[in-house]
Structure 1
């Protein structure tokens, strides 16, 4: 635990030495929410949304985006870079095994994602009167499952990519369809039946709907929880099968 804590602190310090990464992963989601909230029509209740406003729908989408930024851009590129440079190979000869580095990366990404979530919720509440989650335990479960599903996909990218640059590029390319089906460009409520059904079986489509359900005070549906668990098991299993330490 001591080694895990020290490595997590070190990785966090290294992360904050990259201003572009910090701005992209931590600052962009809350800024995007402010941009959406500045659109007058997004702050007006809509009858076809059950009295909700578009900004209310985008709050959980932006929270999911915060998870995805770390899972698809930072995590796979960093881990693939460590493998490419021989860091993980050298760690295998020390008492601190490479699995501790894996734990440190996952812990750092989780903590940073939680920080982003809290900032987004605070900005939404204070600036645009977006309601806070009514079902806090359900919200935390939905957030955790969404994060684990995305982190496992990020590790799968790292396991298959031959270099850090290719891992970063692959993660960036995957980010766009994942966020599309999460509702970033077209909220799930505005999707047709085909797109919404596809979204239901994507990790963040299920995640965003689960966060929305928890915000309304309901537990996520069994379907969406099963989808996220399925992604965790399948992507995590494939990542473990194909990951190379050197």
Structure 2
């Protein structure tokens, strides 16, 4: 996704309304106007869900999955897919594109500051993720009969930590990349590597022991395992939640420290 329409300068803090709120609203309008982000973040996961849901192979109950279907297994993975798409392919290219086009340099003369620029992107992508994940869960339930998460509280905690962890990594990529092309290349590489360890191409349970250990340490792998536990009615393992929190803190701080205006 490219930011073809630069954000305008933010009014001074003395104007009505908080700076962060107005900046986030402006970013949301640009995000929707571009259409690419909503299509990939909301439309693509739903399209994959519809394809999987209409394949008989994905709807057969399997003994090796404790009686669940492959579609049951893939719904948490598609929730993680939403977060990965936003974090690694949408947001880094937008922010790096802003830097390349000089938008960030102009924002530097306003009361915005780097923390608000990053926070506005974080808020927009969190809101988009919430809408998309809710759509995946509801369509899976009412169109294909997939049960909603049995531990809703554990699912919400897991998805929130996963979103913060992955978006923090995406912010770090955006902050460190000098232009949109590099941000797009790095983000795309991270996306496919992370989705492999999340089980999109090979279920985690079918991975060799070494890959399963790497998956547990990877942010998206930890997220999928926590979401799967909550979906099946178990409390997410504290180690998985701690792993996600650690990624959020480390890469969030790294994004703040490495942020450059130009």
Give TM-score scaled by structure 2 length: 0.89
Task: Give the aligned partner of residue 97 of structure 2.
Answer: 81
* Cα displacement (A) at 1:184: 0.5
Residues 141-197 of structure 1 deviation map (CA, whole Å, 9 limit, x = unaligned):
100111111011101111221102211221012100100100111111222212111
- Which residue number in structure 1 is paired with residue 181 of structure 2? 165
C-alpha displacement at 1:107, in angstroms? 0.3
In structure 2, C-alpha distance between the alignment counterparts of 1:110 and 1:146, rounded to whole Å: 11
Specify the alignment match of 2:171 in structure 1: 155
In the TM superposition, what are the counterparts of 1:74-223 in structure 2 within 5 Å?
Answer: 74-223=90-239
CA distance in 2, matches of 1:158, 1:95: 21
Shift of 1:96: 3.0
| Structure 1 position 93, deviation (Å) | 1.7
In structure 1, runs of 5+ residues without a counterpart are: none
Partner of 2:43: 27
Write 1 or 2 for the structure with the bigger share of helix: 1
Q: Give runs of ≥4 in structure 1 deviating > 3 Å.
A: none
Aligned-pair CA distance for 1:3: 2.3
Q: TM-score, normalised by structure 1?
A: 0.95
Q: Is the 8 A contact 2:53 2:71 kept in 1?
A: yes
Is contact 1:91-1:98 (8 Å) kept?
no
CA RMSD of aligned residues (A): 1.4
Q: CA deviation at 1:227?
A: 1.4
Q: Is the contact made by 1:75 and 1:155 (CA closer than 8 Å) also made in structure 2? A: yes
- How far apart, CA to CA, are the structure 1 residues paired with 2:245 and 2:115? 22
Report the number of matched residues. Answer: 246
The reply on whether 1:39 has 2:55 as its aligned counterpart is yes
Greater shift, 198-207 or 160-169, is seen at 160-169
Gaps of 5+ in 2: 1-16
